[in-house]
Structure 1
């Protein structure tokens, strides 16, 4: 656990247990409706009040069982049930394990009593049933889901470093079999739409309206007065068999091997625990399987990885998306018509994202043909979606109709947003804005999609610098969830608020940064790339460097990623940054990785995948053919030099990015810890198990003080670039953590 907090006691967990969160209604036919409606929260969760209310409800159901016909479980909230109490789990420490385990088992026993009531119990899912919500539904005999846009069904705990802890593993294995439970529900944490959930058997029926939802639930009760769970029916066998079944036993060894391959050695314990609980639980009776699940859940819940992931993917993401960085007291504004300037891959992707969100788009390029090619990009994406059943021909036509190709500025009339996405050339970008400014609406928001160029300098090309800012999309823009909003020196609060509103309108996540060369994401990912290359220059085996990145948890290995970006890109960025630093009177301090890149380009002519040769060799059709053998020949470890420990390789990449982020926070380029964590996770592939660049420091053994001590070790071994910034030293000395006053870690 990263941050010292009081232990989670049973008394704390039981706070306000008398608050009633389950309403009891019984009709003349003897059907009881249990309505989940926690008055203290906007969503129902598995907190102490719920557990106490459920205990009272189950006691009463058992006492009145003789006069009952059946039970309907539903919700008065927009969602059915949101799952576990993440604030409680965030505070759970190893010494809390026994209490957490015991409370979990008590809840399991309540759900078991509900499903063995001897009367039909139906879950009427009026909205999302995720995590604990779906586990509650699994403890019912029948599940009817409202077929509405916001309804999602699933057990996504693995995406927060956890696993189902209220019978989800035990019941899905017995309902679907080990293989289908793992692949369709547990290991990926899919959030299924109602139709897909019905197809998989996760729900039994769909209803179009709330009235139909209730009617179908009642119809099941009438038709199945003796309902019981499949696993409580004599002769029930787990679909596909148990590990003792020869056919399944022959396939099971492939599961751990596949899991290891997928994780590439990264420290994600949740999938391993899920797999173990599923396989072990299938070999024992139901009650012992519940115990197995509880033990594996407790291990995860009291561990650091779950805390990192809960902090980032729930609390930090919620903070960012809720508008913590948006200027207050400025009315929200909805964009209607967007001009996208530049129809290359980035511009075409931005246009597609805008059209998908319902905006009218004018996609402009230097010629009508070039603009048409940009629109054709959307057509190809939509063709694939239709072929895969994710869209219809009518939806395809409707979206394409919202994209208008254009070659002249006269077509931009009425556009209330401009997003420039031409090549990363400052003069070209300035020229495009000068040509466009008078053609669009007089109060149009002016956005430049740049990854490195200072926004304030580009803004000088316009007369309305208060309306100008950076909007950095990530490639491919139609898929990547993050947008970096860059505030220039003269960007006004209204423009900043409008930019935030636009990003949310597109369904994407905004992080806010102050103008600076490289901003946040480009500057930080550059340290990752250079550190990996520096390892090659020091004579580390290139395959080991790639494996170190994989085992650190990076989704893309460092040398292969640099090949994708091309080796000329960091050279150009470096040259521009050096020129700017020297022009400002500063001193440029080269990174040792720069010399490796220079040799690769200048001496060997290897510039990356697009050229067919980089750190990797490539076949004629562009596939990787293995690492270039010349790396070992030309960058051999100097005679007498010590071999670099594998752990140092892994941590050098992680530390390089985290230390650079602390500098950005110290410089005021970053304004919040949440923006730093979410930007690193969603934008530049910082490993998810860490919780982001600053949560990695919080969660490091010993917290910021432990991280500081390790940084000093790396500094002594590898150079001043690992010197801890003053802000890190101050946090460590004060015993503080990097936080926006979010829940305790």
Structure 2
């Protein structure tokens, strides 16, 4: 046995290779694996005459987890040659495996992602366990990388250029086994782990001369060469990225297109070169830190044993309440969706009905396409081992019906009896929230967890309206709830640790990432995103053309342009938050400082009557609910003779103001960890992913924290004191430390 791969050969000459790294819970493409695979391939070549075929399987829950992110994240700008050599070595091993002259089958009993799928693609046939836990894909783009083990080259040659790019490489989708089978990444599905090896053996015996399609004389890439397929693709990608500094999609496109025009081995070299540019760059390090290390830190907070949740009461069947009810039911929980009238509650449940129907329609379409598009691959019957699509559709319909059955829409307080958790999502008024909790507290199960979905109101203040403040906290979801992956858990002054742990367990059950913050007006996410939207409005007040503001936010990497985002939120919301905050500050004896954004909000609402998309009129013009362009009347904010604001300033003002506010949140104890600040800012409020998050953006800024402080002071001199570096940032810059 080598370090990470076990070798067993049976009397029929079939070699079973079991991937099993003894030092890790998952198989990764680390140094020990590379040594083991090198030794294993050499032995296969040396003993080829006694071998009938090869089966690759895994002893881990996941089949193969992919690249070693510790190593990839630490690759410096001066290590390009070493990164190239390492990628070349891995590809050479895979190439020797697929040209062994004996059939090689991947028996996939767990997730095969990244390097795991690349290993499977180097096999002649891929059989997967049809289990929801099995995911297949090349998600490297989500970490700022590209597949460097031949994934770009082989998917293009297996699927064709456009399907490989649009369905695998550029979205980084993690496909379920059945979806991967329909796409062509998987050749065959089986129902049980025991059937995997048996099916692999059968395939080996019936395909003794197996070879990769691209190694067969006369092979052509499906769909033809790039000239016939991609005349507008670069422009489409540029439009999707909006000019944001994400180099990975560009490099993937280049590697795919250039590699499709040369032989396989030259294409591998091209792929490695584009990989090196990424892995030695800063954006990749930022994204690995945020989307792997920081996200894992947030997802894996210690919570101990918590009582199970079986029934959730959602109070308020408006947009947020209805969506929260849906995700709870989707997670298998019984849900009571309560509103003041049964009609309002039923309207809330209709939201779930629409989502379920949309999903079912998509599944039916996918099934129909799979039936019409199925083609034999690698000389095998394309339907071998596949489950009938009709059955899959029936299962999907049954699951949809069961989901809806778990939601009870009602106005009856008694229906809440026995609920383990209540999530309040009523109007943002403390008096209304107090009244709602007073009505239902006696009906719930004893010791039920009490949660408010408020986005700004202090949790400690709201806890005054319940008899068990130690069981009360904020559970802030983000819209659209069914797609947004973050939940902000807000601990009030009297919230107990058990309540926080129970909330974290619920968020995990909903398959979302939690961050835990301490109480303050606006908490972390609402407080910080408010600085972003206010900065966009301040630019408009200065006479900056609105199209330039939107372009700057797009090129900075924000998923939604700032004025468009304010329209979605509605302008009345930030004005109400502003007025409430101002009143609270004045009530405490402090001085309220107006923001340059304030006059823009007031004029848009009071003078122009344009409060946002929900009313059909905001910074944008809408027709039939669709955004069709910026409102020409915004010219009212233009200032003749105003000095132009540098485009780089527009971008950095938005990035800096959110980062500076986050430092204040950390200094004040609202935030407790850097990891949660980073991943929370990306997943919750759309801070650009390429930065690695609000605090990592400061770490990686040119010149480090000192460089960031210098630039912040420049912005403060030009645009206002709100850019003045806070004390914590100055202290850390003086120490030469980072936000870790």
TM-score greater than 0.5 by the shorter chain? yes
The structure 2 residue matched to 1:261, chosen from 239, 252, 261, is 239
Counterpart in the other structure of 1:732: 733
- Comparing 686-695 with 85-94, greater Cα deviation is found at 686-695
Question: Whole-Å Cα distance in 1 between the matches of residues 629 and 430 of structure 2?
Answer: 37
1:450-465 equivalences in 2 (<5 Å)? 450-465=454-469
Question: Whole-Å Cα distance in 1 between the matches of residues 420 and 102 of structure 2?
Answer: 60
Shift of residue 477 of structure 1? 2.0
Are 1:315 and 2:293 matched, yes or no? yes
Aligned-residue Cα RMSD (Å) equals 1.3
Question: Whole-Å Cα distance in 1 between the matches of residues 182 and 410 of structure 2?
Answer: 44
Query: SS in structure 1 opposite 2:175?
Result: coil
Shift of residue 666 of structure 1? 0.6
Counterpart in the other structure of 1:367: 341
Shift of residue 611 of structure 1? 2.4
Counterpart in the other structure of 1:623: 626
Shift of residue 669 of structure 1? 0.2
Counterpart in the other structure of 1:743: none
1:96-495 equivalences in 2 (<5 Å)? 96-243=79-226, 249-323=227-301, 326=303, 330-389=304-363, 392-495=396-499
Query: SS in structure 1 opposite 2:454?
Result: coil
Question: Whole-Å Cα distance in 1 between the matches of residues 509 and 634 of structure 2?
Answer: 47
Query: SS in structure 1 opposite 2:465?
Result: coil
- Comparing 586-595 with 138-147, greater Cα deviation is found at 586-595
CA contact (8 A) 1:334 1:505 kept: no
Moved >3 Å (runs of 4+): none
Shift of residue 622 of structure 1? 2.5
Shift of residue 541 of structure 1? 0.7
Shift of residue 86 of structure 1? 0.4
How many residues get paired? 710
Question: Whole-Å Cα distance in 2 between the matches of residues 393 and 110 of structure 1?
Answer: 45
Query: SS in structure 2 opposite 1:424?
Result: coil
Are 1:662 and 2:666 matched, yes or no? no
Shift of residue 250 of structure 1? 4.6
Query: SS in structure 2 opposite 1:485?
Result: strand
The structure 1 residue matched to 2:51, chosen from 55, 68, 76, is 68
- Comparing 390-399 with 354-363, greater Cα deviation is found at 390-399
Cα shift readout 1:202-252 (whole Å, capped 9, x = no counterpart):
111111111111011111111111111111111212222224xxxxx1542
Counterpart in the other structure of 1:582: 586
Query: SS in structure 2 opposite 1:333?
Result: coil
Query: SS in structure 2 opposite 1:236?
Result: coil
Question: Whole-Å Cα distance in 1 between the matches of residues 93 and 482 of structure 2?
Answer: 45
Query: SS in structure 2 opposite 1:396?
Result: helix
Counterpart in the other structure of 2:522: 518
Counterpart in the other structure of 1:611: 615
CA contact (8 A) 1:468 1:491 kept: yes
Cα shift readout 1:7-44 (whole Å, capped 9, x = no counterpart):
xxxxxxxxxxx970001111111111111000000000
Question: Whole-Å Cα distance in 1 between the matches of residues 104 and 489 of structure 2?
Answer: 50
TM-score by length of structure 1 reads 0.94
Shift of residue 602 of structure 1? 2.2
Shift of residue 575 of structure 1? 0.6
Counterpart in the other structure of 1:637: 639
Question: Whole-Å Cα distance in 2 between the matches of residues 625 and 508 of structure 1?
Answer: 33
Shift of residue 183 of structure 1? 1.4
Shift of residue 348 of structure 1? 0.9
CA contact (8 A) 2:312 2:422 kept: yes
Question: Whole-Å Cα distance in 2 between the matches of residues 365 and 404 of structure 1?
Answer: 11
Cα shift readout 1:83-141 (whole Å, capped 9, x = no counterpart):
00001111111101111111111111111111111111111111111100000011111
Counterpart in the other structure of 1:711: 712
Query: SS in structure 2 opposite 1:589?
Result: coil
CA contact (8 A) 1:564 1:608 kept: yes
Query: SS in structure 2 opposite 1:298?
Result: helix
CA contact (8 A) 1:659 1:722 kept: yes
Shift of residue 157 of structure 1? 0.5
Counterpart in the other structure of 2:684: 683
Query: SS in structure 1 opposite 2:18?
Result: strand
CA contact (8 A) 1:338 1:415 kept: yes
CA contact (8 A) 2:26 2:64 kept: yes
Counterpart in the other structure of 1:30: 13
Shift of residue 638 of structure 1? 4.6
CA contact (8 A) 2:258 2:270 kept: yes
Shift of residue 253 of structure 1? 2.7
CA contact (8 A) 1:19 1:49 kept: no
Counterpart in the other structure of 1:672: 673
Cα shift readout 1:687-733 (whole Å, capped 9, x = no counterpart):
11111111111222222222122111111111110011111112222
Question: Whole-Å Cα distance in 2 between the matches of residues 478 and 65 of structure 1?
Answer: 52
Question: Whole-Å Cα distance in 2 between the matches of residues 386 and 75 of structure 1?
Answer: 34
Question: Whole-Å Cα distance in 2 between the matches of residues 226 and 397 of structure 1?
Answer: 48
Question: Whole-Å Cα distance in 2 between the matches of residues 19 and 672 of structure 1?
Answer: 41
Cα shift readout 1:490-512 (whole Å, capped 9, x = no counterpart):
00111111111111111111110
Query: SS in structure 2 opposite 1:460?
Result: helix
- Comparing 311-320 with 366-375, greater Cα deviation is found at 366-375
CA contact (8 A) 2:223 2:229 kept: no
CA contact (8 A) 2:2 2:39 kept: no
Shift of residue 658 of structure 1? 0.7
Question: Whole-Å Cα distance in 1 between the matches of residues 572 and 660 of structure 2?
Answer: 25
Query: SS in structure 2 opposite 1:432?
Result: helix
